[in-house]
Chains A and B, each alone.
Chain A
Amino acid sequence: MLGLLGPNGAGKTTAVRILATLLKPDRGSARVAGFDVVREPAQVRARIGLAGQYAAVDENLSGSENLEMVGRLYHLGRGASRQRAWELLDDFDLAEAGKRLVRTYSGGMRRRLDLAAALVARPPILFLDEPTTGLDLRSRITLWDALESLVTEGTTVLLTTQYLDEADRLSHRIAVVDHGVVIAEGAPDELKRRVGGERLEIRLADGSVAPTAVGALAALGDGAPSALDGLVSMPVSGGGTVADAVRALDAAGIAIGDIATRQPTLDDVFLTLTGRAAVDAQEESE
């Protein structure tokens, strides 16, 4: 599984749409399963499943009718389509709701049905465009479990996400994209090492002394501290650092508003890789 990680507007969806033959690239070429997406779209379509940012299911059909329709459009035949539909409803814990109209489904159920629809033809390659955006944690975990077992069974998955934890948990490799360009690529651990793992964050009582604080803390972390709007942040490892930092700042006569350690987020990856916050990239693109 390859995770495509980036903020809104980074070009993740565009990349997926080109690979799924929905969009023609302005230039360049791409091959999926060995077939050119522009010249051999039919061969590509027969080998892929796509689940986009919206739950692309028909609200006025039941769950089983939706999956059967997709099966028949993959030309699986009537009987096989029906059988496959119920198999998938079972797999995704939707069998009980299979005969109900989709408009009575919850958001999480719709997403699961949408993912099931992408799997109808057992495609060797699956494109998932932010499959868990807007879902609650429980639904996200259910989806993650389903994806993990798919990958174990040998499906190649390209997943786009705005969440580092999601890419981290599911992907074997992660590509970070910004402005349509891959700015970093590697295994999740490699990438996190570059970001610096755990971070110490100190909210200063007075933001104007940030440069002094950065100087006082320079020797303590695993990397250089950075400051943004009175928030000083630096990569750390080990538990003693918080106490060390408090002492160092106290000695320098700097008052602390708040101090905490936390896991790296997409913002940190971005800050480290591009020197600016992910929010900026989002605003620029809008």
Chain B
Amino acid sequence: MSAAGYELSDTWVLASRSVKRIARQPDLLVGYTIQPIMFVLLFVYVFGGAISTPGYSYVDYLIPGILVQSIVFGGFATALGLSDDLKKGLMDRFRSLPMSRSAVLTGRTFADISTNTIQLVVMLAVGLAVGFRFTTEIPAILGGIALLLLIGYAFSWVFAFIGLTASSPEAANAFGFTILFPVTFVSSAFVPVESMPSWLQPVAEHNPFTTMVDAIRHLFIDAPVGNDVWLAALWSVAIAVVFGALAILRYRRVASR
């Protein structure tokens, strides 16, 4: 087999390992499904009545936002998993094998695509059950789903970097939530940017999450956008490239401690 062939097969072996693990850690499955569902229900039925979204019902406005937020956190298993592999010495084993170096990271991030897909299906089903309706044609909807998966993949690399940087799985958890969580909220994901105080509006406006959420809203409920769809794709690719490079650098450093 060629070097590229080994690279693919190593990635495949490690990706299937990660997927197998997830079904066996019920607490992770809860994170993937129950938690986002709780969010949908809380926002639709508790906060929804108090938030006004001119031109749209709140559920139509909310679902694209909450989809982006959940898919961004979908890569979380990568941070926990990598951090755990470091702690338990598995990383040393992998590094002493004649396998592809990058497969340890690509295997994880590929595994996230499958779990993100499951999460997306669950959330769309719940969204439709609480009254969300697509108002666009099939190609736009499929484009939106592809964009969501791309966003999820990009953030898997952010989490790979966090997992390799944090000192323990618990620290990775705290790291991810205290930094990323507020950033997802200061965006158009849950409330219109216009409803925020004027000093916060520019921040939310330039937040890449806003661009991503607006792009998905355009593709799912035909909300007007400028170049947000292309910008969102560009942001995702840029995040994947930058954090991919950072994660690989970090991997080389951390693993040779």
Q: Are A and B co-members of a single complex?
A: yes
Question: Which single residue of chain B is at the shortest CB-CB distance from A45?
Answer: B98
Interface, chain A (partner B; CB < 8 A): 17, 20-24, 42, 45-46, 48-50, 52-61, 65, 69-70, 72-75, 101, 117
Show the binding face of B for A, using Cβ within 8 Å.
1, 6, 9-10, 13-14, 17, 20-21, 24-25, 88-90, 92-99, 255-256
B13 touches A45 (CB 8 A): no
Report yes or no: A50 in contact with B90, Cβ–Cβ below 8 A.
no
Is B97 a contact partner of A22 (Cβ separation < 8 A)? no
Interface secondary structure of B, over-half rule: helix
Pair A60/B20 contact, Cβ less than 8 Å: yes
Contact A61 B92 (CB under 8 A): no
List the A side residues contacting B95 at CB < 8 Å: 21-22
Contact for A22 among B1, B6, B25, B255, CB less than 8 A: B255
The 6 A-B residue pairs whose C-beta atoms are closest, nearest first, are: A54-B89, A56-B89, A60-B21, A56-B93, A50-B96, A45-B98
Partner of B90, one of A20, A46, A57: A57
Tell whether A48 pairs with B93 under 8 Å between CB atoms, given A72-B13, A73-B13, A101-B24. Answer: no
Q: Which of B6, B14, B24, B89 contacts A75 (CB 8 A)?
A: B6
| Distance to closest chain B CB from A223 (angstroms) | 42
| Most chain A CB atoms below 10 A, which of B1, B96, B98, B256 | B96
Residues of A within 8 A of B99 (CB): 73-75
Q: A56–B20 contact, CB under 8 A?
A: no
Taking CB atoms, residues of chain A closer than 8 Å to B13 are 69, 72-73
Not counting A60-B21, A61-B20, A73-B14, a sample of 7 additional A-B residue pairs whose C-beta atoms are within 8 angstroms of each other reads: A20-B92, A45-B97, A52-B92, A54-B88, A55-B89, A73-B97, A73-B99
Residues of A within 8 A of B6 (CB): 75
Contacts of B14 in A (CB 8 A): 69, 73
**Min CB–CB distance B229 → chain A (angstroms):** 38
Smallest distance from the beta carbon of A25 to chain B beta carbons, Å? 11
Q: State whether B92 touches A22 (Cβ < 8 A).
A: yes
Secondary structure dominating the interface of A? loop
- Asked whether A20 lies within 8 Å of B9 as measured between CB atoms, the reply is no
A75 to B10, CA, bound (A): 8
- Asked whether B256 lies within 8 Å of A22 as measured between CB atoms, the reply is yes
Q: Which residue of B lies closest to A57 (CB)?
A: B90
Residue numbers in A under 8 Å from B1 (CB-CB): 75
* Cβ–Cβ contact A70 & B93, under 8 A: yes
Shortest distance from the beta carbon of B75 to any chain A beta carbon, whole Å: 18
User: Could you tell me if A50 and B93 are in contact, using CB atoms closer than 8 angstroms?
Assistant: yes
Residue contact A70 to B97, C-beta cutoff 8 Å: yes
Chain A residues near B255 (CB, 8 Å)? Answer: 22
Q: Check B89 against A53 for contact (C-beta < 8 Å).
A: yes
Question: Shortest beta-carbon distance, B31 to chain A, in Å?
Answer: 15
Contact B93–A23 (Cβ < 8 Å):
no
The residue of chain B having its C-beta at the shortest distance from the C-beta of A81 within the complex is B13
State which of A21, A57, A60 has its C-beta within 8 Å of the C-beta of B96: A21
Known: A23-B256, A42-B98, A75-B98. A69 touches B17 (CB 8 A): yes
Complex: A42 Cα to B9 Cα, angstroms: 17
Q: List 20 A-B contacts (CB under 8 A).
A: A22-B92, A22-B96, A42-B98, A46-B98, A49-B96, A54-B89, A56-B88, A56-B90, A56-B92, A56-B93, A57-B90, A60-B21, A61-B21, A69-B14, A69-B17, A72-B9, A72-B13, A73-B94, A74-B99, A75-B9
Which chain A residues lie closer than 8 Å to B94 at the CB level?
Answer: 73
A234 to B1 CA separation, bound complex (whole angstroms)? 63
A283 to B24, CA, bound (A): 42
Report Cα–Cα, A65/B24, bound state, in Å.
13
Question: Are B93's CB and A117's CB within 8 A?
Answer: yes
Q: Compute how far the CA of A229 lies from the CA of B6 in the bound complex, rounded to whole angstroms.
A: 61
Given known contacts A22-B255, A22-B256, A69-B17, is B24 in contact with A60 (CB within 8 Å)? Answer: yes
* Distance to closest chain A CB from B166 (angstroms): 19
Select A60's contact among B10, B25, B93, beta carbons within 8 Å.
Answer: B25
Tell me how far the C-beta of A31 lies from the nearest C-beta in chain B, rounded to whole angstroms. 17
